[in-house]
Amino acid sequence: MAKATKKTSSEVLVNKTSSATRDSLADYIQEISSRTQLPEESMIHSVIAINQILSRQETVELLDEELKSQLRETWLKLKAFGIQLQDPPLLFGLPEDFMKEELAN
């Protein structure tokens, strides 16, 4: 009998985002948000999951304002827990001092 292999979290993330529809992406974002209610170990998994969503063109194309809002709320929760993160421009826009930093360099 073949032994079942357990998938790594990165394999699960790729599978969840590779053939995403808007509804499956909405469910996944809700799952990510619910993880922020769990112990601290799941916080980093939530950050990785959001990064995975924002890094894949096919999932970015599915993001409407409602889903972006849910991701923003989850991102802010993670920051409130003390995780030091930079806000992704896709969700929060460019920082006000963006051009100032570019000109200074």
Provide the domain count of the chain.
1
Whether this prediction's pTM lies above 0.85 is answered by no
In a domain, 2, yes or no: no
- Integer Cα distance of 97 and 87 in angstroms: 13
**3-state secondary structure at position 62:** coil
Question: What are the pLDDT digits (tens) for 31-68?
Answer: 999 988 876 778 889 999 999 999 999 999 999 999 99
Residue 34 structural domain: 9-104
In a domain, 3, yes or no: no
